[in-house]
Structure 1
């Protein structure tokens, strides 16, 4: 397994992981009609733009298998909403289902944390749907639930939880 910065040409693999992860992780949580209509193509432009972004405080990293196929990714940077007292944010982390619970997610998060620290950010949050099985992963990594809010996906209101880390210097390395 190789963890590296995303580069030109990675958008297709990232969009595929993003789409497939949503379909496996959120089935039974997010309305089926939303998941049934997700396509890699619908996510492609978002990730092409992210790769081309020159935001110095943001990072996008990928996990590749031994054949060079992207099987996961994570991205983070400056906290986006300004509602909570956190400087950094883990925007997203997704792994294809066969690679979950293998330690890759932990490696991806650690790389984002190192980047945030390099940017002088000492705290971090991530927002996750309350019923997302990854919530246990965030708690195992030291995240503390700090706020809940409601978001609308399709025609349903879903609870979203912010997990916070108030001191990245004590983050489990």
Structure 2
């Protein structure tokens, strides 16, 4: 498993999420989807994303034993990542479910720091390897390729009434 410690940056803090972070996580989740998926997911679906619904989901997940890491840049929550048991493979038991960073904060090492924290947490919990599923048209695919992910499959997922292709990247450890 690769785990690189980023250069010291006093503006960036990666920490475990708490239920009280649910409002800020929901804001980043909705805004990131609207930024990343415009032109990929139907706009009416993106427009209907609900901050209160996402907040309830994150608050419940974090209160019920789910885990996530958040990234704070200059004391403002700007990204998050979470994972758990792989939903699609038996040979790779860990899965990165979500990793989002606000577009204004890209290219600062935040995504990499969240990725490493989630990858480490999955290994700490005894998972073998890690998989992540990404929409095929998502420009963030290059991020996972630069981190050494190996293309390992594809499927079709329904989002906003559309059938979209997604691809999997794996890190077998």
TM-score (norm 2): 0.89
CA RMSD of aligned residues (A): 1.2
State the match for 1:112 in structure 2. 118
Q: Is residue 61 of structure 2 the alignment partner of residue 50 of structure 1?
A: yes
**For 1:53 and 1:161, how far apart are their aligned partners in 2?**
29
State the match for 2:6 in structure 1. none
Q: Is residue 87 of structure 2 the alignment partner of residue 76 of structure 1?
A: no
2:47 to 25, 31, 36: 36
Uncovered stretches (5+) of structure 2, i.e. residues with no partner: 1-11
State the match for 2:9 in structure 1. none
1:138 to 144, 162, 167: 144
TM-score (norm 1): 0.89
Uncovered stretches (5+) of structure 1, i.e. residues with no partner: 168-173
**For 2:130 and 2:64, how far apart are their aligned partners in 1?**
21
Q: Is residue 22 of structure 2 the alignment partner of residue 11 of structure 1?
A: yes
Give the stretch that moved more between structures: 15-24 or 46-55. 46-55
Q: Secondary structure at the match of 1:136?
A: helix
Aligned length: 162
Q: Is residue 102 of structure 2 the alignment partner of residue 99 of structure 1?
A: no
* 1:160 CA drift (Å): 0.7
State the match for 1:63 in structure 2. 71
Query: Which structure 1 residue ranges, 4+ long, deviate > 2 Å from structure 2?
Result: none
